[in-house]
Structure 1
Amino acid sequence: MQDYSNTKIFYNLQCCRGIAAVMVLMAHANLMVDKQMFSGAFIIGWSGVDFFFILSGFIIYYINFKYAGKRNELKKYLSKRLIRVYPIYWLYTTAFLILNYLLIKFAGKGIINWISLDFMGILRSYLLYPTNIVKSEMPIIPVAWTLSFEIIFYIIFGVYILSNKKIFQLIVGIWMLFVALNFFKVIDVTQSPLLSTLCNAKNIEFIYGCVIAHLSLKNKISRNRSIGISVLLVGMILLAISWINEMNQCRYFPKMDSLNFGIPYSLIIYGLISLETYNPNNKIKNSLVFLGDASYSIYLMHYISIVILYVIFKRIMHNHYGVFVIITTVLTAAGCICYSWIEMPLLKTIRRYSKKQNTPVIVH
């Protein structure tokens, strides 16, 4: 049985990270260009968010599990996570704010209409403070509503480092209790964006990731190829069933993405870890790994870009399928370029500055 304790990168998961980012991009393109196109099949690509949440729980636990009770590691942990999320997010947010201002100035109309662009609205967006999704309020970069969940999970996991595993388990247990109470309408938190986010059932997916990471670290994930393929296939079949049911609005119980999509994605992640191999000469896998590296930039820049490109292309093309393909291809490539030319140089600059200041910042 392989020892995962020194594994730095799970290439299979990185490949899927890129695929999930493109799924979300295609979902928004399908929705904005023509939601009837492809019978709305690609719209369900929003479930890529569920994959990201599970993967995030896996990565955080896997990398930081050894720091339980080591309070002096908290600063390094938070700096790693926050530097990975905020700088590039602030850059894209500022760029879109400037673009919106220019459109108002020269075209008479902006594109950001899902949040009030007053001081508090802008501040909340920059801080990733939860917005009221129930009332269709989103951050300046709309897809960044998911990052509010990430920040909350980072903070809660910080308790693991400050205390110990038992206290962390207790806090997670209480957290999941409130998630359940909210899901079954025992409590009503809809008026509070913070509590609505904190008690959202999607938070369960972070715990799925932590459980899978724990199994990996304890060498309890089977390396038997047949078992790995079987688990992967079961996950893919369940994902297909959930996908089709969501398309047809066939629900046999209340909508709960952490069950309908969280379980299939968890099984897929388990299977991919079980089958983890890497051949540096495999060009297809190398390309998918790079796509995974670029997933954050693809994710952040695509939504508003679709809004702009659709306005342009619908005037010169009447074929919705063609517009969809062009937008998806262009923005996937643009996200990869932004990663290579903006995101990575920015992170490298932060690394160099941190080394000069003797601050141990590691960006994963």
Structure 2
Amino acid sequence: MLGLLRSVWDEPGPADPPARVWRDWVMLAGFTLVIVGEVLSRPELPYRWFAGAVALAVLPTVLWRRTRPLLAVAVAFGACGLAPLVTGHDLGLNSFVFVLVLAYALFRWGSGRAAVIGATIIAVKLLFSLVMGFLGTGDTVGGFGILFAATALGAALRYRNRARQRELDQVKLLERERLARDLHDTVAHHVSAMIIRAQAGLATAPMNPDAATDALRVIEAEASRALAEMRGIVRVLRTDEPLDLAPTPGITDLHGLAGRHRIGPSVDVDIAGDLDDLPAPIGTALYRLAQESVTNARRHARNATRIEVNVVADAASVRLRVSDDGEAAPVRAATSGGFGLVGMTERAGLVGGTCEAGPGPIRGWTVTAVLPRA
């Protein structure tokens, strides 16, 4: 209980409460007319001019109820509690209903500390009026009920807005993670390929000048693909086109990873099982996982001559295994300095699958992913 009370006391107020807007001035003008009208229309009310003057004096507190809610409550309820000492009885103006707006604002915009202190001020005012005989028991109980309803409404809207803000923050975080994965799996893949080709071309150019020309051709092709995929991502971001409708690679594009390269290890792709009815998100995830695994192997597998990509499908799941025959390197993932394995694990998890990577049983590095067909 003590921890709960301390958390309420230490709770900060909402950030950047809205400043005064035209509605506040309309509210001020409206309540002013109501107060003046009630004073003029109730000649039987004792000390009606004094009560009206007190109401008009504290009415401007509605203008800073959001930025200074505790001060507004303290001024308004303090004045309403002390003014009856002059007249000897309750002021009796129904127009004082505007203090409900202040009570609402206290719990909507105030900090936890301000809410506790303000609620205490309100309770003290009501109990003081009851003890001094300015209010009867029924009026006091009714006042507590009405003020509780106003404060409860303010607290409910406050926490509803906070929950909505948390949801928006979570959506933004997920969107940032998705963009990071897409950029890494598309543009970063092609840039990595260009770096590998450029390094290989520079290393072999003195002995084989044609290798530099071949490297430039590959770099040009990879740059064109990177530009095309970047434009696709930008199109999705700038238009209302859903990401699912944007051109994305699938299971049939896995064969494009295969090939016998003059520089670096060869890539062999083997697909077994029925993949005709595989959903597009699963196919895209498989391709991206295989693509990233092949890129990592070509960059980090020392003295590797072959990379194998195996896909096996059954009735319930699809299994991907990418392995190389490079030298054993148990710290390869830790030294890469990138986010490839993190993105691969996230991508597999988004479709209900798993992805693991580690040293192979004999040599090299092995990536294994299991994705559901549904």
Smaller-chain TM-score range?
A: under 0.3
Q: Which has the higher strand share?
A: 2
The structure having more radius of gyration, on CA atoms, is 2
Higher relative contact order (CA 8 A, sep 6+): 1
Q: Which has the higher helix share?
A: 1
Question: Normalised by the size of structure 2, how large is the TM-score?
Answer: 0.22
